Amino acid sequence: MKAIIIGAGFSGAACARRLAEQGCDVLLLERSAHIGGNAYDEKKNGAFVHRYGPHIFHTNNEQVVKFLSRFTEWFPYEHRVLADLHGVFVPVPFNLDSLHKTFPEDKAAKLEAVLLREYGEGKKVPILELRKNPDADVRAFADFVFENIFRFYTEKQWGRKIEQLDPSIMQRVPVYVSREDRYFTDTFQLQPKDGFTALFERMLDHPNIRIVTGTDALTRLRVGEDGVFFDGAPCTDEVIFTGQADELLGYRFGKLPYRSLRFEFKTVPAPFQPAAVVNYTVSEAYTRISEFDKFTVERPAGDTSEIVYEYPQEYEAGKGMIAYYPVVNEENLALYEKYRAFLARFPHFHLLGRLGNYRYINMDAAVADALALADRLTADRED
């Protein structure tokens, strides 16, 4: 069995390794000059700097941890985020401590009692659910959080009014009815000891994997009405594509919307800010500042820190931008379905990953999906 995999991020790399270990010859093509996709990092002044924005590994999937642990040692890391709310730093997701930092004490105490009674200690409540509460005080609180934590930040991130976005986006960061201040509450919260790039290097170090970086696979791969072709010849290998389906098919049904990012990296005097990430939810053109020195427990205190400002922008094809986030709503999903249905006619062609499936997924889900696809392909070939 042979496979051609397009993209050396988590989806493509995990799939390549699993297929290789099951005897498949894998050709892995990557457009950029390096492996690792958007998780690529490089060491600078003792800190691992993530070139494409901060990546934090967290999961409840023990099998994914077991697979990745073959290629890295870990150190525990619990991510905490603050929001700069009119000059006051409050935990995000918004929790009971955030409540007491932003409201007078008597009002905060009253709201806390109502929230505990209505929802229970430890509950994570979507902001949209809070805004429907029959209690007028709770609704007013929810409106405050919505306007000061969610609206401006979300509209900066997506370049659209909240009302134009899929409601699932608002479900991802709930209000915590507790003093839980971790951004993630998954069972496993880890960072690779030697960085993400080293993890990818070890994952792809297999005699059955041949890697070609710095090449645009679309100069070699063509999919059309007449079939799938590679280097000009009909292709019978398994093809796993982790890129943009609309770009692959020449935008035949129209362009799918994506959001991109612009990063501004700086070396600054340390310490720079009170948390690894500070979100700007009511001000600034950037959405957040990340301080990479705070992403590792093993980084000794130094005189400088490595930081990055993150500016969202609309993705424009052909402008050298990276498509980071599919803009998910009913209209865009209907357009994506046209691309998916067209490609589904080819039994040996498979879409994979965030871009391939036009949906937001975390690193752990990307790995789990990749392993499942590889297992399915090898099982089908054995039947």
Share of the chain above pLDDT 70, in %: 98
> Are 119 and 249 part of one and the same domain?
no
> Are 372 and 235 part of one and the same domain?
yes
> Are 228 and 334 part of one and the same domain?
yes
What's 13's domain CATH number?
Answer: 3.40.50.720
Domain that holds residue 222: 2-35+204-256+327-382
> Are 354 and 244 part of one and the same domain?
yes
Give the contacts of 234 (CB within 8 A, at least 6 positions apart): 227, 228
Question: What's the number of domains the chain is made of?
Answer: 2
> Are 24 and 163 part of one and the same domain?
no
Q: How far is 77 from 109, CA to CA, in rounded Å?
A: 32
Q: Does residue 270 form part of some domain?
A: no
pLDDT band at 81 (very low <50, low <70, confident <90, very high): very high
> Are 333 and 375 part of one and the same domain?
yes
Q: Does residue 314 form part of some domain?
A: no
CA 248 to chain centroid: 22
> Are 237 and 354 part of one and the same domain?
yes
> Are 164 and 25 part of one and the same domain?
no
pLDDT given at position 298: 59
Domain boundary among 176, 192, 221: 176
Of 22-26, 162-166, 191-195, 278-282, the least confident: 162-166
pLDDT given at position 301: 64
Q: Does residue 8 form part of some domain?
A: yes
> Are 229 and 137 part of one and the same domain?
no
- Angstrom CA distances, 95 to 111, 333, 339, stand at 12, 33, 41
User: Is residue 333 helix, strand or coil?
Assistant: helix
Q: Does residue 112 form part of some domain?
A: yes
pLDDT at 17 over 90: yes
Q: Does residue 261 form part of some domain?
A: no
pLDDT band at 382 (very low <50, low <70, confident <90, very high): low
Share of the chain above pLDDT 90, in %: 89
User: SS3 string of 198-250?
Assistant: HHHHHHCCCCCEEEECCCCHHHCEEEECCEEEECCEECCCEEEECCCHHHHCC
Query: Are 290 and 310 spatial neighbours (Cβ–Cβ below 8 Å)?
Result: yes
Domain boundary among 176, 191, 218: 176
Domain boundary among 176, 192, 223: 176
Q: Mean pLDDT across the stretch 107-124? A: 95
- 48-79 burial, b if ≥16 CB within 10 A, otherwise e? bbbbbebbbbbbeeeebbebbeebbebeebeb
pLDDT band at 136 (very low <50, low <70, confident <90, very high): very high
What's the whole-number average pLDDT of the chain? 94
Q: Mean pLDDT across the stretch 103-117? A: 96
Q: Does residue 345 form part of some domain?
A: yes
pLDDT tens profile 165-194 = 877 777 777 899 999 999 999 999 999 999
Of 133-142, 161-170, 240-249, the least confident: 161-170
> Are 27 and 163 part of one and the same domain?
no
> Are 31 and 120 part of one and the same domain?
no
> Are 244 and 336 part of one and the same domain?
yes
pLDDT at 67 over 90: yes
Q: Does residue 68 form part of some domain?
A: no
pLDDT tens profile 283-319 = 999 999 999 999 876 566 678 999 999 999 999 998 9
Q: Mean pLDDT across the stretch 269-293? A: 95
Q: Does residue 284 form part of some domain?
A: no
Question: pTM here?
Answer: 0.94
